[in-house]
Structure 1
Amino acid sequence: MCSAAWNNNPIYIAFDGVEFGYTIWVNGKQAGTFASAFNRQTFDISPYVLAGKSNTLAVKVITHPRGWEFDTNDDWALSGISRNVTVFTLPKTHIKDVVVRTFVKPGNSTINVSAAVEQVGSAKFSKGLKFTGQLLDATGKTVKEFEVNSTALQTDPKVLNFKGSVAIANPKLWSAETPYLYTLKLSLIENAVAIQKYTDKVGIRELSWDGGIFKLNGQAVKLRGATHHDLSPVNGRAITEAEFKNDLKLMMRANMNFIRTSHYPPNIRLLELCDSLGIYVMDEVPYGYGDEILGDTTYLPILKIRAKATIWRDKNRPCVVIWSVGNENPVTPIGIITGKYVRNLDPTRPYCFPQTPTVFANMVAKMPDSLTMLDVHYPQLDSLKKYATQ
């Protein structure tokens, strides 16, 4: 039953993960299709929903959509709906996206908040539209109140952009050793009425490079860890929070501080746990196998959809410190374009192309200048010394 109160607002459905693709119908009408097993996709189903009445949702899982090879890896290829499915409504004027970036200096930090507000339907943006914000500490005490102001930049008449900056004196910084999280609260105000609220955790930290040394908050960091699959011997891909916690605590007891999400963006709950427990993450844009089609330029839109979906969902997670672009693939022209696209979407984190030793040796000279990190798997010590001098 869809609430009658939703009648005048847009209604959406979001799928967090379906192997390997799917098409949906609402009340017998096709409402959307998507093919990327581990990326979130949201559909506007407003035209098909009968508010205040029972509605029928049908989902057809597709095992071999175009590009399915990118979602096959050296693990179990289990198909089906393995992650959350959410139906929700938003006001016609609503928050489309929020980007939070933090910068650290001795004794203080800056939090930059950017928000995009979308207008659905024929109405225009109200002149009385604004954001108010709060930053709370871990005890719930307000640290700062601020406003996020609209900008002159508006390339889309249906999207209004807002930007704000918050200075914090003597902040508690986020790291693996001290995973301190603040709470960010935003309220979208229209004519003095809050029409939507947004809440997320924020870890204040900044990544940097210094002479080839990876640093967090100005301190050199050594990453020690392993790869991690969203896979359970009992629940398959539908891994539970208890299983995630058990995996992470096992890693921490082994003195690990880092995981690589092989070979796709993980369940969002894993990243939230890494935020709170203090574990660094290499988050992977999903294209595992499929080497034979990476020379086909018609697959570039598929790779860019996957890259954008990965970064759009995970960009505000403090635990994510590196973007991995694919897994041990040959670096083809469309792969290089995808890597540069990742860099443009998020210039605050390094990205890399994970490689086997042979492929890496053949490709290292062809890596783009925008690449900040080299990633060779299973290396010999002599080769590491050689690459470290380059």
Structure 2
Amino acid sequence: MPSSTTADYQNPEMFQRNKEQPRFEAVSFRTKEEMERNASSSLVLLNGSWRFKYYAHPSLVDPLVFKADTDLSAWDTIIVPGVWELQGYGKPYYLAASYPPQIGVKKGRIPDISASDNPTGLYALDFVLPENFEGQRIYLRFNAIKSSLTLYLNGMQVGYSQGSMTPHEFDITNHVRQGSNRLTAQIIKYSTGTYLEDQDMWFLAGIFRDVELYCEPQEYISDAFASCRFDREYRNATLDLKVRIQAEQMEGLILRVVLIGTETMTLYNGMIQGNSVSLNAWVVNPKPWTAETPYLYVIRMELYRNEQFIQGKKFNFGFRQVELSDGRFLINGRAIKFKGVNRHDFHPAKGWAIDKETREHDIRIMKSHNINAIRCSHYPNDRHLYDLCDRYGLYVIDEADLETHGIRSFLPKDDPRWTEAMLDRGVRMVRRDRNHPCIVMWSLGNEAGFGTNFSKMKEAMQAHDTTRPFHYEGDPTLKVSDVKSMMYPTPELVRRYGEKENILPRTPLDYIRKYMTAQFFHRSIDYRGMPVMLCEYAHCMGNSLGNLQEHMDNFDKYEHLAGGFIWDFVDQAIEHRDPDGNIQWLYGGDFGEEKTDGPFCANGLVAADRTLHPAILEVKKVYADIAIRRISDTQIEIKNKNVFVDTAQYRFMLKRLVDGMSVLEDELNIPPIEAGASKLMEIPVAFTLPELNHDLILEIDVLQKSDRFWCRKDEEVTFFQFETISEHRVSKPVAPLFQPKFSEKSGHILIQTADVVYRLDRLTGLIDFWSDTEENILISPLSPDFSRADTDNDRMLQMWVPWIARFNRNRFWDRHLK
């Protein structure tokens, strides 16, 4: 048990004080006109330039600095949102599976946080309360901080919070005053929360998402949750909505709710009984939401006292139902495949303070490369991401802010000291995000071991949402996770799961994996009836993804294989400019850290600046929803792998390439092919004629027929090329223009051409002289080189186990030649 003198940040059972309960986030509108214009006067962003003071440790902070009249003139300035390491304060650490040296990890001594090295930042801002906030309930929301926050307002402590990646929200009504106010936030980099946030990313600190000051009327809509249930034909649906009202006097309050699509439908218009309204509305033939058809309705809520408008709120809603049936992952009754990617919310110059433009650019890249799903690895993102995925159409696994990678063998397991913090992280994610149709599964976290705490966590989250399944790869029992999830299996192992085999250890290496790693083995009966998915696969470090098609072939072949999520989307490289303004890319170890996992942070489909890596072109080809195979010289089969839409959205362009040059082009007119169906098509004769002595290629380009959110008309979706075999005349060898001359001299063989002289040492067999003049261009004799430079994938395990370098196959030839 922590003592009464234990500091908040050192106490695993102290993760919040005076913190608001989680709820959906919808801006408050004071008038109907504001709602129509979508312009609220009830929210103010406090982003921008703040005063900042940096300390090596929280014990160095003088408590008097929190007074409202503290002189800030000597303090630095810092940009919010942002992380302080990338603004000149402290040292970033990149660690994939362990903790910085300031965090002690000996079992039995946790929490053990450095008493002398724990960077601490004081943020201060003077702001004027808007006049229209008077008489309202006033709230302050930090959308993300790392890793603990103590909040002061006008010299008084308001509250305390951990749980970095979900909002930290406080009711400041009784602390704020009209006119000028002094806001001070103490951020401590390492806290007990850090033990739950070891997530294969940079350890950074600061206030890195929006800071929002907003107000609600004294009587207001505090929460709402909408979901739907389709009928057996998935044609009509029941819309379930629960709205919660906060008010001291409920009598006389009226709630009006409408559903806005192509038409407007009244869902409720009446008095409020108790403090909430629960309704079920039958909606005839609604337009469904899927990643292929992301149609959004608007649910608009208005609160009245008698006929006087008090407040309005609204949010997007999609008719989308998730089910698991016979091992299939169903959206609106149809089995889907996750063609997904893991994604860190990262910017090369701002760290986790990623701007909206960059985040939307990420989504456009994904959609343009046929990616249909995101796993939020390994924490809830800014709500903007879910808004984008709702609108663009991407399936999302929303993951709780929980990973204890470096100590997962013993923490958190069944330890009751960590239970409430785990439950809080899961529930806050669910309560904030559950109205987003894009979210199709909740994840309890990543690589945090297993124990009873996870069962309790799932139960707590289910109390707030039963419409989605739960994921946790670290569940060896398959009793908590609703899907069988894996990391980095070979295509052969995935095939065996597809065949529903018993996956039991068979080789000595299998037994080592079973007892020394987190790889689990199961009998077929253990995962019977469960979708099987790869939450991480196709590790995209360096030149990789060469066998991605083998995985996709498995997904397509077996109905209960639900697909997977590539690791990962973007390199976590940090941008640095030298004195001349040139960009340098920095990785782990480039900041003088005591420990690091080096360039293991660079395994993205795109570079940190969003430049495309070659591997993402392989993803675009493999993940495409159109497949074409050649049946004969004049016939092809086109398969529509979309689940919900036909091929009317595409154009199919034929090209005849002769020796690589296009000599004939035409559009192939194809009647729309229904989702999941195939069609045979004849190729015009002009595209199939043989031609002697030339290389002939039939190319079929699949193009977007019209503009989409993420691309322009005629952008390529995918392409296919088929070689036409033609006879080639055998060319006669060309006689050399000059016959080389050979001679011997002093133990050497001389070879002389018209312009160059080579000399071979008869003893070593090496060329030791090479010149087109009399000067030798060789510094040393040319020796055979049968190896190549190591790639990051070659050296991956050496980062953690250096002696493995002795078994590096690329170095065998080097040692042999030496």
Deviation at 1:151?
7.2
What are the residue-to-residue correspondences of 1:238-387 with 2, within 5 Å?
238-289=353-404, 291=408, 292-295=410-413, 296-355=415-474, 363-364=476-477, 367-368=479-480, 371-380=481-490, 381-382=492-493, 384=497, 385-386=500-501
Say if 2:411 and 2:449, in contact at 8 Å, map to a contact too. no
1:23 to 124, 143, 150: 150
Question: What is the alpha-carbon distance in structure 1 between the residues aligned to residue 360 and residue 482 of structure 2?
Answer: 31
Could you tell me the TM-score, scaled by structure 2's length? 0.44
In structure 2, the CA distance between the partners of 1:12 and 1:216, relative to structure 1 (3 Å rule), is same
In structure 2, the CA distance between the partners of 1:352 and 1:283, relative to structure 1 (3 Å rule), is same
Question: What is the alpha-carbon distance in structure 2 between the residues aligned to residue 310 and residue 132 of structure 1?
Answer: 28
Deviation at 1:189?
1.5
Task: Pick the structure with greater CA Rg.
Answer: 2
Deviation at 1:73?
1.1
Q: Does structure 1 residue 116 correspond to structure 2 residue 244?
A: yes
One-letter code aligned to 2:141: A
CA deviation profile, 1:24-62 (whole Å, cap 9, x unmatched): 1110100111001101121001111112x1001011111
CA deviation profile, 1:196-248 (whole Å, cap 9, x unmatched): 11111111111112111110111111111110000111221111122112222
Question: What is the alpha-carbon distance in structure 2 between the residues aligned to residue 133 and residue 62 of structure 1?
Answer: 43
Say if 1:98 and 1:113, in contact at 8 Å, map to a contact too. yes
Question: What is the alpha-carbon distance in structure 1 between the residues aligned to residue 269 and residue 203 of structure 2?
Answer: 45
Say if 1:94 and 1:196, in contact at 8 Å, map to a contact too. yes
One-letter code aligned to 1:87: L
Question: How big is the alpha-carbon RMSD for the aligned residues of Structure 1 and Structure 2?
Answer: 1.8
Q: Does structure 1 residue 131 correspond to structure 2 residue 258?
A: no
Deviation at 1:134?
1.6
Q: Which residue is 1:157 aligned to?
A: none
Say if 1:36 and 1:306, in contact at 8 Å, map to a contact too. yes
2:228 to 94, 97, 102: 102
2:447 alignment partner, SS class: coil
1:91 to 206, 209, 217: 217
Question: What is the alpha-carbon distance in structure 2 between the residues aligned to residue 112 and residue 198 of structure 1?
Answer: 17
One-letter code aligned to 1:147: Y
One-letter code aligned to 1:114: K
Q: Which residue is 2:172 aligned to?
A: 45
In structure 2, the CA distance between the partners of 1:148 and 1:98, relative to structure 1 (3 Å rule), is farther
Q: Which residue is 2:306 aligned to?
A: 191
1:97 alignment partner, SS class: strand
Question: What is the alpha-carbon distance in structure 2 between the residues aligned to residue 259 and residue 181 of structure 1?
Answer: 19
Question: What is the alpha-carbon distance in structure 1 between the residues aligned to residue 384 and residue 133 of structure 2?
Answer: 28
Question: What is the alpha-carbon distance in structure 1 between the residues aligned to residue 167 and residue 483 of structure 2?
Answer: 27
Say if 1:329 and 1:354, in contact at 8 Å, map to a contact too. no
Deviation at 1:148?
5.8
In structure 2, the CA distance between the partners of 1:215 and 1:150, relative to structure 1 (3 Å rule), is farther
Question: What is the alpha-carbon distance in structure 1 between the residues aligned to residue 197 and residue 449 of structure 2?
Answer: 16
Question: What is the alpha-carbon distance in structure 2 between the residues aligned to residue 231 and residue 275 of structure 1?
Answer: 20
Say if 2:297 and 2:318, in contact at 8 Å, map to a contact too. yes
Deviation at 1:150?
6.4
Question: What is the alpha-carbon distance in structure 2 between the residues aligned to residue 196 and residue 142 of structure 1?
Answer: 23
Where does the alignment leave 5 or more consecutive residues of structure 1 unmatched? 155-159
Higher RCO structure, 1 or 2 (CA under 8 Å, sep 6+): 1
Q: Which residue is 2:266 aligned to?
A: 145
Question: What is the alpha-carbon distance in structure 2 between the residues aligned to residue 252 and residue 287 of structure 1?
Answer: 28
2:202 to 76, 83, 88: 76
One-letter code aligned to 1:314: D
- What fraction of aligned residue pairs are identical, expressed as a percent? 28
CA deviation profile, 1:82-122 (whole Å, cap 9, x unmatched): 11111111111111110011122233112111011112xxx
CA deviation profile, 1:251-302 (whole Å, cap 9, x unmatched): 2222211110000001111111000010000000111125243032111110
1:95 alignment partner, SS class: strand
Q: Which residue is 1:63 aligned to?
A: 189
1:310 alignment partner, SS class: helix
**Length, aligned pairs only:** 367
Question: What is the alpha-carbon distance in structure 1 between the residues aligned to residue 184 and residue 269 of structure 2?
Answer: 41
Question: What is the alpha-carbon distance in structure 2 between the residues aligned to residue 181 and residue 142 of structure 1?
Answer: 13
Where does the alignment leave 5 or more consecutive residues of structure 2 unmatched? 1-127, 502-521, 529-818
1:87 alignment partner, SS class: strand
2:384 alignment partner, SS class: helix
